[in-house]
Amino acid sequence: MSRHLTASAPPLALELSAQRRPPRAFATAFGLAAVAALVLVGGTAQAATAAPNVGLFGAQDPTFDGVYRQSLSIIGLRMTNHIPDAAAIGWLLRQQCADGSFTAYRANPATPCTAASEDENATALAVQALVVLAQPEPATAAVAALRHFQTADGGFYDNTAFGPPASDVNSTGLALSAFAAAGIDPASVTSGGKSGIDYLRTLQISCATTAGAGAYDFQTEATLHANDYATVQGLLGMLGKSLPVNPVHAFGATPTCPATVSDATSSAAAATSYISARLIATNGAIPSAFGSGTDWTTTANAVLDLEAAGAGSAAITAGVAALQANVLAYTKTAGVSTPGSLATLLLVADATATDPAAFGGVNLATVLAATERTAPVAAPAPPAPAAPTLPATGGAGLLSLGLTGGALMALGLAAVVASRRRLAANEVRSP
């Protein structure tokens, strides 16, 4: 499916646009109604809106992955026929910085972004979510900002929170996927005459090497080492593909690692051969690089890569089976559902034509949607003060009220007359 941000958008993009963008008159009317509601309920509305991050998926601290997991969740839900609500979409849009980029998370969207806080990974994934949502203006601004993260070696860096800019394969792969989603040829985005594709090729292990042939390393080092997560993120970008990955109906032969890697096609073939062999060798469960256990995120992304490449059907089958058998281990941490993993599995289900409502016995979309933060129920407004009790409205009551009022007026006039007479008498007695 093409995802161009142009007037020649395919029917699906137009359909998404129609479903996603409410009429401006409706939005204006809704805004006015909301303002009126705030004025009417006063303190109650203030208490209700004080809840942070309404619309954000996941109860976990969003400091380091808020925008990333929100973007994944939106893409996963939308592409499995579940429309993210206005609160979820609004949360993402409010996170965008004035220059079009995104940070990992802004606790207060009213606070201006700084160059040090802007994050390439968050921006690249947000671009793909905005394209899926048919939001061309925010997407175009984010694509323009994404170019600022490119360095002279053609690669892209994540952020400068921990040091000066330094390209890495993960960030570069994400950037290439974002450009592809926006309908931009990734090879055309260059710095110093080099593209992200050129950079990825410098980090790829030669097919003549015994260990890790075809894989990418994370960053430049004297001896390159296979990094599985960098490889799966770099490969999707090298393929010129983005999220979501379309299902493949006819698989080709799994490529072998070519003797010579000279362009994007041969580089992608080398990485595809590595990923396919890796999934087969691990029975569909790629081990974690940080210790014991399985890296389910890398496993899921490996499945998506092979679907995007249209190769490795046996490896895909092994990966999907392992993911289904371990769905709870992947999607829950300390008993709490994790939106990023649920969204990733939704993308796997969509790409492999697997039922997302029964993925390993879990309805992925329902569970993911249930993690969305909502505003607390407003406390009922205190009752209005009781109106003063009036006398009965019958004729007797009115007569009584009239007589009482007349008597009071008469007494008041008499007092005024008496006061004036005393004042006059005193004036007469004065010398």
* Nearest CA-CA partner of 231 in 323, 146, 301: 301
CA-nearest of 230, 232, 211, 212 to 220 is 230
* The pLDDT of residue 38 is above 60: no
Inter-residue contact 166 to 112 (CB < 8 Å): no
CB 298 within 8 A of CB 236: no
Q: What is the mean pLDDT of residues 100-124?
A: 96
In degrees, rounded to 5, the angle at the alpha carbon of residue 344 between the alpha carbons of residues 354 and 333 is 115
Report, as an integer, the average pLDDT of 90-98.
98
Residue 150 pairs with which residues in a beta bridge? 156
Q: Is the pLDDT of residue 306 over 90?
A: yes
Average pLDDT over all residues of the chain? 83
Q: Are 305 and 236 in contact (CB under 8 A)?
A: yes
Category of 360 on φ-ψ map: left (φ > 0), alpha (ψ -120 to 50) or beta: left
411: amino acid identity, one letter: L
- Taking residues 404-418, what's their average pLDDT? 45
- Asked if 125 contacts 67 with a C-beta cutoff of 8 angstroms, the reply is yes
- Segment 128-173, tens digit of pLDDT: 999 999 999 999 999 999 999 999 999 999 999 889 999 999 999 9
Question: β-strand 336-337 against 332-333: which pairing, if any?
Answer: antiparallel
Pairwise CA distance, residues 170 & 298, whole Å: 12
Distances (CA, A) of 382 to 55, 191, 268, 385: 28, 63, 65, 9
* Cα dist from 379 to 40, 49, 202, 397, whole Å: 14, 12, 60, 41
Would the CA dihedral through 267, 269, 270, 271 be positive or negative?
positive
In this prediction, residue 301 carries a pLDDT of 98
Across 204-213, average pLDDT: 95
Residues 53 and 107: their CA atoms lie apart, in Å, by 8
Domains in the chain: ranges and CATH: 61-369 (1.50.10.20)
- Counting every residue, how long is the chain? 431
pLDDT of residue 28: 31
Q: Mind listing the pLDDT tens digit for each residue in 230-281?
A: 999 999 999 999 999 998 888 889 999 999 999 999 999 999 999 999 999 9
Q: Could you tell me which residue, 312 or 40, shows the higher pLDDT?
A: 312
Cα→Cα distances 402→394, 398, 405, Å: 12, 6, 5
Residue 221 has pLDDT above 50, yes or no: yes
pLDDT 10s digits, 51-88: 679 999 999 999 999 999 999 999 999 998 899 999 99
- pLDDT at 46 > cutoff 90: no
